[in-house]
Structure 1
């Protein structure tokens, strides 16, 4: 039976170990640059897409808000379905072709949205964008290929910092360009992604040699539900994925209600919001680039995950209880430590599956993230609205944020049971 999901943890050493330090560093450098450029291209759309949607609805803000929710839910659905497919495809044919196809597809999708003549054309572009954005799962599998097991948590921390950098730079670029034209940021995103594709076409080496790939592509395991078989096939893997899902779901509260919550409670203006995004982004980068590696080296992946979950829950409680804007900001350094969670989890999870299943693992994780993107806005948006309608008696506008804190506490309890390192991977010369 050639099912990688049921095979033991890999026996061959990672490709990077046989390729030499220079090749390994070059490959990681490309993945880091790709994550940075992709997150910049996505960040560019953050301040622009809702306004373009409103333009198509004739300036009707309420209708634009409803369409924006539909766009977000659809994007999550595409992630849910396409993550496992692209992940398993990369296990079958290699990481390089899947990454290059995804990058090229993203560039085309951004052009599609830049020239969309109607709302429905824009919606189709968003569907295609969600499908090709699933390349993140393949990038994670590539990183696992070229990094030794004991260094994966630190490498995933660096990869996450690239996303944080991108979401600091991207919205700034989008806002500046959007002052001139709502279409211009999409063209910039297309150009950035096209450069990424061309650079990869010339530079990117393959990380998964033919002898370590899946023998066949199995549609039964490439669908989102089938991908869960991989999570069930290894001790503790499903529990770790559950911790990651709870974290991703809790995080959805911020893009869902942050602007409305802080404007309502503290009277923050767009300028203050922009500075807050900058502050939290910089803190996140500091944690992911400079704290993850030393913390994992001293505490181990399990304790780092637990520390991150406690810090995230504490930060959410602080945010929900803060009675003034300056008090809210004092909680940002505490919450920034939640950036320890995913690198530690990824380090633990990638050590539990074979090289032939790294893409499937990342695809399954991306499907769970897609589910969080679908249900999160409904949970937190409705909770926030409900708390405001009952403010006279409840007096808790931060209720939705407390719900997120509760989700991380559940994640902490689950991590106590499952976040343990597996037996060391056998190494060969």
Structure 2
């Protein structure tokens, strides 16, 4: 028994080493993703002040700025609905690296414009460029990174790997926000544009290309590798992958149609449930993003430094969660339980913002990101495990498209609501009412996730009873 235990211990140690080696193989992707998000998030704390100064100089409340922000998010989301699934599908056929270059390069342009000048004319030029860039960057970069990870990591470790990818993005968010805290407004955009250019160059120079061939369990997961049965295990993996691949017909050189995407999403309970949860959670998330900074400025007089501090707390909590907590909990609890925990934390997070009674309450609410950070990696893991190797790009693109659709509805719903309750003609004194409504959207996603969990448990129980009979 001791001999067997020692062998198993050595095998587990070797498996862990191989697992870390697989994750290390994604190092170039992590570096490129970090630089991209570092550049993108660095300018967020100063954008509210830049917008207000260009549109409504000298004022703390400005409905025009809120509507401009909402319109930008809506148009960006509308374009991303079309672009993201197409980009994901093209990456399945032509490789991830070639398609990843597009959002990385386009993201440089709006940053360069504000790096030159932030006057009213330059702001509106930036505004148009940002909408165009957002159409190609809003969901495409994240979608392609997820597909790239799925190409290199087996399904059993995909939740941890997706969590690490999100953690790297959160690290870019924290680093960018912290950097913005110590830079002037003009220097912030100059540094951001330089880092965005460096990210695109690094991607082209160092990232190995990856096509649409995803790793199977036996091929990628050292916990399942066994030299004595490698030939016998390869067949079930391929057959299982072929069964998943039948969800979409062969594309024969054409782009996927809307009916193809609908068929893919409605063909399984996991995909349709993930799509529904994504929609409601993203609707609440984009509603919060639309209202939060303007609400905090009107309610508590927040400025650049307070915005940076708040975003820094939220980013640090997300980074800690995804880099340390999620890789530990994912193999133990599974993505379904992590999704429920994340949505519960997300509800608490948003509701606390909406009912904040003092300037410190938003800082406390931001700490709940340590739980809400589980949501997106858990959804993406469920989606990735539900499709074949040749559908990773389009499946992730469809989920990103649904999130983009929510980003259209979010500004359309919450922008006028926020402007109304922050104006002097509000129906009653509750400046956080629009954020509270966003919290109810997140609550709906939480309830749906509970029903999904119950339905899956019932299905597994009936399957076991049928097999026993």
Does the TM-score normalized on the shorter chain lie above 0.5? Answer: yes
**Aligned-residue RMSD, C-alpha:** 3.5
Q: How far 1:111 moved relative to its partner?
A: 4.9
Check the 8 A contact 1:178/1:185 in 2, yes or no.
no
Q: Aligned residue for 2:41? A: 43
Report what 2:225 is aligned to: none
Kept after mapping to 2: 8 A contact 1:174/1:185: no
Counterparts of 1:364-403 in structure 2 under 5 Å?
Answer: 364-388=398-422, 394-403=428-437
Gaps of 5+ in 2: 1-14, 215-237, 461-469
SS of structure 1 residue aligned to 2:158 = helix
Q: What is residue 153 of structure 2 aligned with on the other side?
A: 147
Picking from 347, 350, 361, the partner of 2:381 is: 347
Residue 194 (structure 2) aligns with:
188
Choose 299-308 or 394-403, whichever is displaced more.
394-403
1:163 corresponds to which of 158, 165, 169 = 169
Which aligned pairs between 1:94-243 and structure 2 lie closer than 5 A? 94-107=95-108, 110-111=111-112, 121-133=125-137, 134-173=140-179, 178-180=184-186, 184-185=190-191, 187-198=193-204, 201-209=205-213, 216-221=252-257, 226-243=260-277
Is contact 1:50–1:68 with CA below 8 Å preserved after alignment?
no
CA distance in 1, matches of 2:53, 2:358: 34
How far is the alpha carbon of 1:242 from its aligned partner?
1.2
Structure-2 change in CA distance of 1:56 and 1:36 (3 Å): same
- The change in CA–CA distance for 1:88 and 1:301 in structure 2 (over 3 A counts) is same
Range with greater deviation from structure 2 (297-306 or 23-32): 23-32
Structure 1 residues 262 and 31: alpha-carbon distance in aligned structure 2, compared to 1, 3 A threshold: same
Aligned to 1:31: 29
Whether the 8 Å CA contact 1:147–1:155 is kept in 2: the answer is yes
Task: Please report how far the alpha carbon of residue 197 of structure 1 lies from its aligned counterpart in structure 2 after TM superposition.
Answer: 2.6
Contact 1:253/1:380, CA 8 A, preserved across alignment: yes
**TM-score w.r.t. length of structure 2:** 0.74
Aligned to 1:6: none
Deviates more, 1:383-392 or 1:226-235: 383-392
Deviation per CA, 1:38-81: give whole Å up to 9, x if none.
11121133245566667876969855554444333332223222
Unaligned runs of 5+ in 1: 1-16, 424-429
Q: Deviations over 1:120-176 (max 9, x none)?
A: 653553244124312321111111121111211111111111222222222444565
CA distance in 1, matches of 2:309, 2:58: 28
User: What is the CA deviation profile of residues 90-132 of structure 1, one whole-angstrom value per residue up to 9, with x for unaligned ones?
Assistant: 1122223222344344446655776698566535532441243
User: What per-residue deviation string (whole Å, max 9, x for no partner) do you get for residues 260-281 of structure 1?
Assistant: 2223333434333322221121
Aligned residues: 401
Is the contact made by 2:56 and 2:65 (CA closer than 8 Å) also made in structure 1?
no
1:175-233 Cα deviation digits (max 9, x unpaired) = 655534676245324423333333xx334242534999966343243x5x752331112
- Is the Cα contact below 8 Å between 1:42 and 1:189 reproduced in 2? no
CA deviation vs aligned residue, 1:365-416 (integer Å, no higher than 9, x gap): 1111211222212322222334446998744332222212211221122112
2:354–2:432 contact (8 Å) kept in structure 1: yes
User: Highest relative contact order (Cα 8 Å, sep 6+), 1 or 2?
Assistant: 1
Measure, in 2, the Cα distance between the counterparts of 1:307 and 1:190: 34
Bigger radius of gyration: 2
CA distance in 1, matches of 2:90, 2:52: 37
CA contact (8 A) 2:46 2:304 kept: no
Provide the residue aligned with 1:256 in structure 2: 290
Cα 1:57–1:308 change in 2 (3 A) is closer
Kindly tell me: are residues 172 and 77 of structure 1, through their superposed partners in 2, closer, same or farther at Cα, counting changes over 3 Å?
A: farther
- Is the CA contact 2:55–2:65 (under 8 Å) kept in the aligned structure 1? yes
1:153, 1:296 within 8 Å by CA — same for their partners in 2? yes
Match of 1:265 in 2: 299
